[in-house]
Structure 1
Amino acid sequence: MRVAILALDGLFDTGLTVFLDTFAMANEQAAAQGFPAPPFDVRVVGVRRRIRTAHGLSTAVELASTIGRPDWVVVPAPSVRQPDRLIEALARRDTRDAMAALRAWHADGVSVAAACIGTFLLAEAGLLDNREATTTWSLAPFFRQRYPAVKLDDSRMVVASQSVVTAGSAMGHLDLALWLLRQTSPELATLVARLMLIDKRSSQAEYIIPDHLAHADPLVERFERWARDNLSVGFSLQAAARALSVGPRTLQRRTEAVLGKSPLAFFQDLRIERAQNLVSIGYDIEKIASEVGYADSATLRTLLRRRLGRGVRELRAEMQR
């Protein structure tokens, strides 16, 4: 597999090194197992001859126009975390040139992939329109607002949509690298994951901090505060809308536009977050159920297992490690 890592100024250093180290480990283990040749030919390329990372490390790269046709082009994340700074980064000349190169590669049948905030480059280039995709959960509300044509599911860690693959938050670079390894050799990918102590994570959902997302919009932020104050009472769309002085449809539309989910689903997220916190400090399950608005613990147990894949006993065991 020929892989071109498209590097731009200000990139997230860890993202680049994760790709390089994971592919290097794979080639090393392939040689030890008697592969006739390294399975991965990895090049770091750019639209300029040198790039400077976010930590100020300067390195020479190959010009993207000179390397021939790769099988995959992979985009590490730029090291920006605020929407206004990201808009500036997307408007830079080198970023626009990189997006033009991505469109040309994709039109030529080359597969493209990106992790974390690197997914914004694919979306800005139009390569995610009408496709399923994921991104870093912390910027998902901004992503939804800027790219409404993308079918975003920020709960997922890796999303493959034909010849375009996206991965989630910062260490999603690891998940994307392993996904690419599996396309060549599932056995080699498993070995590398074990040697590098990489956990299998199919979802970002349990890492998401609900109130962080809510702050992306004033109405949703007010709804989040109302929801936390009313967890023990239970959810009512009409009551929430009345308390916020808006119509139920307005609240429904705004939460779906910003969070990608209904007010009830977000309320359930807050219930899960609160329940996890109470489990961690040793509350009885019946008391926890009452605190988050359930008349009995059976419903809460079912919700925890459905959302987190683990029950109360497993969660308590994790907290004690």
Structure 2
Amino acid sequence: MKITILAIEGVFDTGLTVLLDAFATANDLGILLLDTSPHFDVSTVGVRPSVHTARGLEVPVRPVASQMRPDWVIIPALNTRMPEELVESLGRSDMLDAKQQLLTWHEEGAGIAASCIGTFLLAETGLLAGHEATTSWWLGPFFRQRYPEILLDESRMLVPASRLVTAGAAMGHLDLALWIIRKFSPELATLVARYMLADYRSQQAPYIIPEHLAHSDPLIENFERWARSQLSAGFSLQNAAKALATTPRTLQRRTEAVLGKSPLAFFQDMRVERAQHLVRTTNMDIEAIATEVGYVDGATLRTLLRRRLGRGVRELRADLR
């Protein structure tokens, strides 16, 4: 399988190296344990002859013109974390050239994959329009605003959509590499995951910080502050709107537009975040924690934590031992 990694100036060091290491590990383990020849022919290419990582390391890239059509093209992240920086980066001439090259590769039949901030470059091509996608969880509101035609779900770690695949933040690069390896050989992907100590993670949801997302909009920020004071009391859309001097309809629409979810769903996110914090940092029993975050009993909270985080109370506490 021919893999092309498209390196752009300022590429996220960890994202690039995780991709390279994952495919190299797959080739090594294939020879060592499965008695097979290397399966992944990986090239790092650039639309400019000289590319540096965000930490200033020079990346040895091949010119795009020298490449035969790849089976998969992977776009690693840029090391830009804030919307203002990202908008500036997306307007650079090398990014515009990269966008055109991605369209050419896709027209020739290549699959296109991106992780973290790299999902924004893929979104710029228009190829994701009408498809589901994920991105770095903290940039979900900005992604949703910039690309309303894309069906964003930043709670997911990895979203395949035909010959397009998007993955979540930072170490989502590893999840993306394992997904491509798994398409070739599930057995090999399992070996790579075990050697690289990579758990299967279907969700970014356990890592999302609701307070961070709220800062992207003044009304949502005020709603978040009000909601935190009401976690034990329960949620009322009418009470929330009244406290914020707005209408229930306006609050409902704004949270949907910015966060992609209802006010109640965001309120539930904050309950789960608070409960998770108390489980991990106190010796309170689950019944007391349930009362603290507004649930009638511990059994309900246990079920919710398991469903939302994929871990129970004992596992959450064991993580810190």
Short-chain TM bin: over 0.9
Shift of 1:257: 1.0
- The residue aligned with 2:101 is 101
Equivalences for residues 140-289 of structure 1 within 5 A? 140-280=140-280, 281-289=282-290
2:14 and 2:310 mapped to 1: Cα distance? 29
Letter paired with 2:225: R
Change over 3 Å in CA distance of 1:34–1:189 after alignment to 2: closer
Letter paired with 2:312: G
SS at match of 2:169: coil
SS at match of 1:305: helix
Letter paired with 2:242: R
- The residue aligned with 2:308 is 307
Shift of 1:63: 1.2
Shift of 1:36: 4.8
Letter paired with 1:316: R
1:195 and 1:34 mapped to 2: Cα distance? 14
Shift of 1:33: 3.6
1:295 and 1:175 mapped to 2: Cα distance? 37
Shift of 1:200: 1.3
Letter paired with 2:154: D
TM-score normalised by the chain length of structure 1? 0.97
TM-score normalised by the chain length of structure 2? 0.97
2:115 and 2:55 mapped to 1: Cα distance? 19
2:162 and 2:146 mapped to 1: Cα distance? 23
Unaligned stretches of 5+ residues in structure 1: none
- The residue aligned with 1:46 is 46
Shift of 1:294: 2.1
- The residue aligned with 2:121 is 121
- The one-character-per-residue Cα deviations of 1:25-49 (angstroms, maximum 9, x if unpaired) are 1111112245553100000011111
Change over 3 Å in CA distance of 1:317–1:37 after alignment to 2: closer
Shift of 1:186: 0.8
1:305 and 1:40 mapped to 2: Cα distance? 37
Equivalences for residues 2-81 of structure 1 within 5 A? 2-33=2-33, 35-81=35-81
Letter paired with 1:294: Y
SS at match of 1:193: helix
1:263 and 1:257 mapped to 2: Cα distance? 11
SS at match of 1:112: strand
Shift of 1:313: 3.0
SS at match of 1:4: strand
Q: What value does the CA root-mean-square deviation take over the aligned residues?
A: 1.2
Shift of 1:107: 1.4
1:130 and 2:130 aligned: yes
Taking every aligned residue pair, what percent have the same amino acid on both sides? 64
2:305 and 2:104 mapped to 1: Cα distance? 45
1:139 and 1:95 mapped to 2: Cα distance? 19
Q: Does 145-154 or 192-201 show the bigger shift?
A: 192-201
- The residue aligned with 1:290 is 291
